[in-house]
Amino acid sequence: MSLKRATGALVALSLLPMSVSADEAVNIYSYRQAFLLDPLLNAFTEETGIETNVVFAKKGLSERLEREGRNSPADLVMTVDISRLNELVEKDLTAAVDNETLDSNIPENLRHPEGKWFGLTTRGRMIFTSKERVEEGEITTYEELADDKWNDRICTRSGKHPYNIALFSSMIAHHGEEEAQEWLEGVKDNLARKPQGGDRDQIKAISEGVCDVAIGNSYYYGNMLEDDNQREAAEDVRMVFPNANGRGTHINISGVALTKNAPNRENAVKLMEFLSQPKAQQIYAEANKEYPANPDVEVKGMVAEWGELNPDSLSLQTIAENRDAAVKMVDRVDYDN
């Protein structure tokens, strides 16, 4: 089955064999949904004449690449979260890219030291507070989440979710394991309920009065504000940029990696270059209420109205390397129970 221009459909991975097209299209395995990629890929094809094929999946892409081995038709993997990118590296499924354009456009802390993945957009791991029950400026840092004043007032999703693991990994990097664990124990003591749901559910919980403070990614808040069914809940909360006046707000990324056995490497690298440049960066960031990874690209629209993001400059590779320690820390404090 040919997947020529398959980006418009969300499809079951197991049902989609992919073949390399005769015109050397770039074949992409993606954890990002089609509607986010279509504008980018259409612009790339219009500019270069190079076509693209996409397989979307919610999970299992690294396993598929392992099964396919040298016969894999995939040239690129596009995904969210540093842990998924790092998993590809650890399984030896990516190839290093030494490219002046990519190195120039993507900051060092947002790319693998050997070019085995590159960040494309960023999102902040924000603190959300009730506009009614929490004064503006009453909480400004991640560290304050462990303060006794927030006892029974905080909601989060599972501590084992990759977005939280990345945040906890950054706390280990900044404070060391012992102090980070004390902090996480304090956050757990302040939970209003057992960790559950997704980031949007934490914002809804504030609106419903279940808790007063929550942790969530910035783009969920933006997408809720544009959803008629969720706007009211989002308008009940205030978004806080944690540690904005210090080390900066923890960020995570969406990113891209060249596969180890890419059959069409040359065109795949051309697409990677395109994705790092201002035109594509603007399209991609605006499509999902994120921040461009390229620091020369202006933040526009709703995201710009939130205020300036001062991102933590900690290397995402360092966060990836702390992942196992963070997972064990979550288990030790029994965070989810």
How many CB atoms lie under 10 A from the CB of residue 73?
21
Give strand pairing partners of 122. Answer: 253, 291
Residue 23's pLDDT is: 56
Dist. CA 34–CA 38, nearest whole Å: 6
pLDDT tens sequence for the chain (337 residues): 333 334 333 333 333 444 434 458 999 999 988 778 999 999 999 999 999 999 998 889 999 999 999 999 999 999 999 999 999 999 999 999 999 999 999 999 999 999 999 999 999 999 999 999 999 999 999 999 999 999 999 999 999 999 999 999 999 999 999 999 999 999 999 999 999 999 999 999 999 999 999 999 999 999 999 999 999 999 999 999 999 999 999 999 999 999 999 999 999 999 999 999 999 999 999 988 999 999 999 999 999 999 999 999 999 999 999 999 999 999 999 999 9
300: part of which helix (H) or strand (E)? Answer: none
Amino acid (1-letter code) at residue 63: E
Dist. CA 5–CA 41, nearest whole Å: 9
Dist. CA 296–CA 277, nearest whole Å: 9
Residue 58's pLDDT is: 85
Residue 46's pLDDT is: 96
Model pTM? 0.90
Nearest partner of 233 among 214, 258, 254, judged by Cα:
214
**Per-residue DSSP letters for 22-44?**
TT-PEEEEESS-HHHHHHHHHHH
Sequence-distant (6+) residues with CB within 8 A of 184 are 146, 159, 168, 171, 329, 330, 333, 335
* Residue-range domains of the chain with CATH: 13-122+252-305 (3.40.190.10), 123-249+317-332 (3.40.190.10)
Dist. CA 178–CA 181, nearest whole Å: 5
Sequence-distant (6+) residues with CB within 8 A of 241 are 124, 126, 249, 307, 309, 310
Strands (E), 174-322: 213-217, 237-240, 251-258, 291-292
Compute and round to an integer the Cα radius of gyration of the chain. Answer: 20
Please check whether residue 25 is in contact with residue 4, taking contact to mean a CB–CB distance below 8 angstroms: yes
Rounded to 10°, the helix 34-48/265-276 angle is: 110
Nearest partner of 112 among 92, 97, 128, 91, judged by Cα:
97
Nearest partner of 56 among 36, 70, 39, judged by Cα:
36
Can you read off the two tokens belonging to residue 300? Answer: 């526009």
